[in-house]
Structure formats: structure tokens, C-alpha cells
């Protein structure tokens, strides 16, 4: 590897994706004002893709500024349903309310990646998945939230597709890694071009 790779994310799901692919990297979560960035994007009339890229770029740039020799991966994901953008639920009650809204309906997950280095964004990618939740019962929802634990609060959708969250769905159209918040194949292609991973 010619340059250090840094993941500017606290997401355990994204870290597991890179770990599973055998990528050498260091994790350094970025702290940015996501609410302000989203509000500015909304005010400018931006769509979910542009907003997700803006968030990912802000995270990548923040960490690249203090790691000037590294390539920094910034990532963000926006869940959109009927024009509403959802945030990560702050607690179990909010997760329950959110899942009730999404139950029996289709929503979109928009995942953006940006790689920063040498003082600029060198690459970005956006991918979208469409997920349809089945009309599960209130009893199932309660049992799901009890068994899934606090990890569901790490996900904008209050579910982990790689775990028990898969039982919430009747249909999924999209790339698995996109749903996890790190579209891996396009990222690997970029990293190969930069000789960060083996060609």
C-alpha cells in the first residue's frame, strides 16, 4: 500500500465491510454538523444524492485536513420516504415510531462515498437501494427491537440487514454493500487505480 487509508466513520457496519475485504485502514470518525449541512442542502433544493455527497465530503475533508498524507474515505447515507429524510433514531421509542412509518412501504437508501487527499475530493460515488418492508405485526416489531438491542440506533433505518433486521423486509432492490453504507466494488476499483489495494 502506497498511502495510508483512513475511514472517517464510526460505523461498525462500514468497518466490517472493509475488514471482510481485507483492506488495511485506520478508523478516525469525523465530527461535522450534519444537521446544518442537511438544512443547507434542503434550502438549496438539493436532492438526496447531492446531500449525501455533501455530508460524505465534509467528513472526508475534515479528517484529511489532519492527515495530509492519507487518503480518507468519507461516507454518508440518507433514508428517504415520501420526500422525508430520516435521521438515525436517538432511542428505542424513536426507532419504533420510524419502523411503524416504514412498515408495509418502500423507501430509498442513498449511500455516498467521497475520498479526500492532497487537499481535495479525488473521487466520489453515489448508489441507491430500494427496500420494501413487509406489513409485520406490532408484536413482531416489539420482539425485534428487544432482540436487536441498541445497535439498531447506529443505522439510519433502525435495522441491520446483516442481522435480524432482514426479517423486516419483503423485497430489496439494490446492492448489499450500498445498504450497509459502503458501496464496496466502486471503492475497490478506485483504490486499485491509486495502487492502494493490489491490482
Q: What is the largest CA-CA distance in the chain?
A: 52
Give the DSSP H/E element, type plus range, for residue 40: helix 34-43
pLDDT of 1: 52
Return the closest-CA partner of residue 131 out of 153, 149, 155, 113: 155
Q: When comparing pLDDT for 1 and 169, which is higher? A: 169
CATH number of 5-193: 3.90.950.10
Contact 137, 168 (CB under 8 A): no
Active-site residues, by number, are: 76
Whether the per-residue pLDDT at 3 is higher than 90: the answer is no
What's the pLDDT tens digit per position in 25-39?
999 999 999 999 999
Task: Give dist(CA 114, CA 58) in Å, integer.
Answer: 9
**Residue 45 confidence (pLDDT):** 93
* pLDDT > 90: percent of the chain: 87
Q: Report the C-alpha dihedral over residues 76, 185, 13, 104, rounded to 10 degrees.
A: 70
178 by DSSP, 3-state: which? helix
With pLDDT > 70 as the criterion, what percentage of the chain qualifies?
99
Which pTM was predicted? Answer: 0.92
C-beta separation of 63 from 121 below 8 A? no
pLDDT in tens, 144-197: 999 988 888 988 999 988 888 999 999 999 999 999 999 999 999 999 999 888
Per the prediction, the chain carries an average pLDDT of 94
Rounded CA separation 58/30 (Å): 9
The alpha helices in 68-123, defined as continuous H runs, are 92-102
Cell numbers found for residue 155: 443505522
For residue 173 the three cell numbers come to 432492490
Question: 138-148 and 92-102 are packed helices; what angle lies between their axes, rounded to 10 degrees?
Answer: 140
Amino acid at each position: 500500500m502506497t498511502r495510508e487509508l483512513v475511514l472517517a466513520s464510526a460505523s461498525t457496519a462500514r468497518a466490517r465491510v472493509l475488514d471482510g475485504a481485507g483492506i488495511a485502514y485506520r478508523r478516525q470518525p469525523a465530527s461535522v454538523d450534519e444537521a446544518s449541512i442537511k438544512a443547507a442542502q434542503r434550502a438549496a433544493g438539493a436532492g438526496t444524492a447531492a446531500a449525501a455527497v455533501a455530508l460524505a465530503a465534509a467528513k472526508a475533508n475534515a479528517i484529511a485536513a489532519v492527515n495530509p498524507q492519507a487518503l480518507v474515505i468519507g461516507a454518508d447515507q440518507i433514508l428517504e420516504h415520501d420526500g422525508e429524510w430520516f435521521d438515525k433514531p436517538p432511542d428505542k421509542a424513536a426507532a419504533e415510531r420510524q419502523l411503524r412509518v416504514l412498515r408495509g412501504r418502500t423507501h430509498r437508501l442513498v449511500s455516498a462515498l467521497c475520498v479526500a487527499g492532497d487537499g481535495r475530493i479525488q473521487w466520489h460515488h453515489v448508489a441507491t437501494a430500494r427496500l420494501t418492508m413487509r406489513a409485520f405485526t406490532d408484536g413482531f416489531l416489539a420482539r425485534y427491537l428487544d432482540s436487536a438491542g441498541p445497535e439498531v440506533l447506529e443505522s439510519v433505518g433502525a435495522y441491520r440487514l446483516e442481522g435480524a433486521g432482514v426479517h423486516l423486509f419483503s423485497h430489496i432492490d439494490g446492492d448489499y454493500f450500498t445498504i450497509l453504507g459502503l458501496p464496496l466494488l466502486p471503492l475497490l476499483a478506485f483504490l486499485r487505480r491509486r495502487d492502494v489495494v493490489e491490482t
